[in-house]
Amino acid sequence: MSFGERNNWIYVAVCLISYGIYLAIILGSAQEVPLAEVPYVAPMLWTIGIAIAAMIALSILLSIAAGISAPKECGKQDQRDREIHRFGEYLGLWFVVFGGAAALGMSMAEMDHFWISNELYLAFVLSSVVGSAAKIVAYRRGFQSW
Amino acid sequence: MVRPTKVTNAIRTLRFTHGEMTQADLAERVGVTRQTIIAIEQGRYSPSLEMAFQIARVFNVPLDAVFQYTEEEGDIP
């Protein structure tokens, strides 16, 4: 498994786990109050912050492990890695675009901040997960630049 | 994304006829990762024209001795 592919597995896992924790906190709190009144800001910021920190820490650990097992190829990226990265980012970007457009519509409809923030968070998570999953598929099943 | 390529290659054969060159050796000489050489050999990745020329240069053969484009019925000649 290449360095780039391993990094993308980390991104997918961290994104899904952190979003899962956030949903569990929010839905757990919604037992006592209506969902839209659940205090969501702190759990959202904490899970995003912890996810970013976890990604950085795991990437560093992965680099160290890769440096020990295959020093010559450690962190090395070539044309294929860059093309796969670009392809995944392009796919993921669509979720940010649709999420932004949906947030604009929800804002114009004067919906509660809770729903707008959560819709945007979901868009970011989907963008990361779909983009990274597409890169993993491209690494494993093939990617044709021609 | 995962459309099959009609580009085939003889890299594996050429490696063996050139002193049983390893994928790692070829990767180092072309300046790519070993995973990229594996992906090209298995037809999972079509390299750029520049990388294709670099591979051909390593084996000191013309480009079409390394890469072939298989034609199918209905293809424009």
Give one DSSP letter per residue of chain B, joined into a string.
--PPP-EEE-HHHHHHHTTS--HHHHHHHHTS-HHHHHHHHTTSEEPPHHHHHHHHHHHTS-HHHHEEE---TT---
Average pLDDT score over chain B: 87
Residue ranges in chain A whose pLDDT is less than 50:
none
Between β-strands B67-69 and B7-9, what pairing exists: parallel, antiparallel or unpaired?
A: antiparallel
Phi, psi dihedrals of residue B61, rounded to the nearest 5° = -130, 160
Per-residue model confidence (pLDDT) at position A2: 76
Per-residue model confidence (pLDDT) at position B59: 94
* Lookup: tokens for A48: 């995003």
Measured between CB atoms, which of B33, B45, B51 is closest to A143?
A: B45
Nearest to A47, CA basis, from A76, A91, A15:
A15
Contact by Cβ (8 Å): A19, A47 = yes
| ipTM (interface pTM) | 0.77
Among B42-46, B55-59, B67-71, the range with the most confident prediction by mean pLDDT is: B55-59
Distance (Å, whole) CA B7 – CA B41: 11
CA distance B48 to chain A (A): 7
Per-residue model confidence (pLDDT) at position B75: 57
- Chain B residues closer than 8 Å to A142 by CB: 2, 5, 39, 42-45
DSSP A143: E
DSSP A110: T
- Chain B residues closer than 8 Å to A143 by CB: 1-2, 39, 44-45
Per-residue model confidence (pLDDT) at position A64: 85
Residue B2: pLDDT band (50, 70, 90) is: low
Task: Say whether B45 and A76 touch across the interface (CB within 8 A).
Answer: no
Per-residue model confidence (pLDDT) at position A66: 76
Per-residue model confidence (pLDDT) at position B72: 65
pLDDT for B23 beyond 90: yes
Measure Cα distances from A44 to A23, A75, A87 in Å: 9, 31, 28
- Chain A residues closer than 8 Å to B43 by CB: 142
pLDDT for B4 beyond 70: no
Nearest CA in chain A to B1: A143
Task: Say whether A78 and B36 touch across the interface (CB within 8 A).
Answer: yes
Distance (Å, whole) CA A8 – CA A1: 11
Task: Say whether B28 and A72 touch across the interface (CB within 8 A).
Answer: yes
Contact by Cβ (8 Å): A42, A22 = no
Measured between CB atoms, which of A76, A141, A146 is closest to B2?
A: A141
Per-residue model confidence (pLDDT) at position A31: 85
